[in-house]
Chains A and B, each alone.
Chain A
Amino acid sequence: GQNIDQPTEMTATEGAIVQINCTYQTSGFNGLFWYQQHAGEAPTFLSYNVLDGLEEKGRFSSFLSRSKGYSYLLLKELQMKDSASYLCAADYSGAGSYQLTFGKGTKLSVIP
C-alpha cells in the first residue's frame, strides 16, 4: 500500500508558527491534500497541491516537493481554535477520481 507518514502529535503556542510535515510514496502520485479534523467532526478541506512549490491561503500555506515525496502545512499566527488533527492525504487514483489515501493525522494542541 501507499504509506503516508506524519508526526502523531505536536504542541505549539498561541500566536506562533507551526509546520506539519508529511512524506508519501511517489509512485503513482497525483496530488496532495491537507484536511483539518476537529475531534468528533468531519474532515474539512484546507489545501491541494499538484505542482511543486508553496500555496498560500490566509494563515495556512502548503508546500509540495514531488521529487522528494514531501509536503508540509504551515500554520501562522496560531489560534486556540486551530487545535485539531491535520490530515495529509495523497491521491493515487486514476482518471481524476481523487480517491484519497490518508495519513494517520497529526494532532495539534495550541496552548496559551
Chain B
Amino acid sequence: EPEVTQTPSHQVTQMGQEVILRCVPISNHLYFYWYRQILGQKVEFLVSFYNNEISEKSEIFDDQFSVERPDGSNFTLKIRSTKLEDSAMYFCASREALGSYEQYFGPGTRLTVT
C-alpha cells in the first residue's frame, strides 16, 4: 500500500541553525500539508500546498518557515533559524485530489533544538 515517507526520523540541531525536513508524498496525490505536534500537545496545522504554491498557512508559519516541491516527488519544510520552541514532531500529509478528503500522514520527523 502506498505511504507517505519522511526523513530523517529524528533531527537534532542547535538553536539558530537551518533545518530541512523532507517528505515524499504518495505519488498520485496533489495536495500536501505540514503539521506539527509539540510533545504532549495537539496537532497543529502549519501549511497546505497545491499546484506549486501555498494554499493556506497558519499563524505559526512565519517568515522563518518555507516549503518547496523541488522535483516531482519531494516536499520539504525549511526552518531558517531554529528556536528552542520549534522542537516538535513534524508530520507531512498528502491528499489525492479535489474530491477526496482523507489525508495520509507520514511517520513524522522529531526535531530537537538544543
Verify A99–B56 contact, CB threshold 8 A. Answer: yes
Whole-angstrom distance between the Cβ of B76 and the nearest chain A Cβ:
18
In the assembled complex, A11 has its CB within 8 A of some CB on chain B:
no
Whole-angstrom distance between the Cβ of A33 and the nearest chain B Cβ:
8
Find A102's partner among B31, B42, B98, B106 (CB 8 Å cutoff). B42
Task: List the count of A-B residue pairs having beta carbons below 8 Å apart.
Answer: 56
Question: How many angstroms from the CA of A44 to the CA of B43 in the assembled complex?
Answer: 13
Verify A97–B31 contact, CB threshold 8 A. Answer: yes
In the assembled complex, B45 has its CB within 8 A of some CB on chain A:
yes
In the assembled complex, B95 has its CB within 8 A of some CB on chain A:
yes
Whole-angstrom distance between the Cβ of B98 and the nearest chain A Cβ:
6
Give the one of A89, A98, A101, A105 with max B CB within 10 A. Answer: A98
Determine the main DSSP class of B at the interface with A. strand
In the assembled complex, A51 has its CB within 8 A of some CB on chain B:
no
In the assembled complex, B48 has its CB within 8 A of some CB on chain A:
yes
Verify B48–A42 contact, CB threshold 8 A. Answer: no
In the assembled complex, A73 has its CB within 8 A of some CB on chain B:
no
Verify A98–B103 contact, CB threshold 8 A. Answer: yes
Question: A31-75 interface mask toward B, CB cutoff 8 Å, 1 = contact, 0 = none?
Answer: 101000100011111001000000000000000000000000000
Question: B19-61 interface mask toward A, CB cutoff 8 Å, 1 = contact, 0 = none?
Answer: 0000000000001010100000111110010100001100000
Question: How many angstroms from the CA of A33 to the CA of B93 in the assembled complex?
Answer: 15
Q: Given A42-B106, A42-B108, A48-B102, A103–B42 Cβ distance below 8 Å?
A: yes
What residues on B are CB-neighbors of A103 within 8 Å?
42
Q: Given A44-B105, A48-B101, A98–B44 Cβ distance below 8 Å?
A: no
Verify A31–B101 contact, CB threshold 8 A. Answer: yes
Instruction: Give A contacts to B, CB under 8 Å.
Output: 31, 33, 37, 41-45, 48, 87, 89, 91, 93-105
Given contacts A99-B33, A99-B45, A100-B35, 9 further A-B contacts (CB under 8 A): A31-B101, A33-B101, A43-B91, A87-B43, A98-B31, A98-B95, A98-B103, A100-B43, A100-B45
Shortest 8 CB-CB contacts between residues of A and residues of B? A42-B105, A102-B43, A104-B42, A45-B102, A102-B42, A97-B55, A43-B105, A99-B56
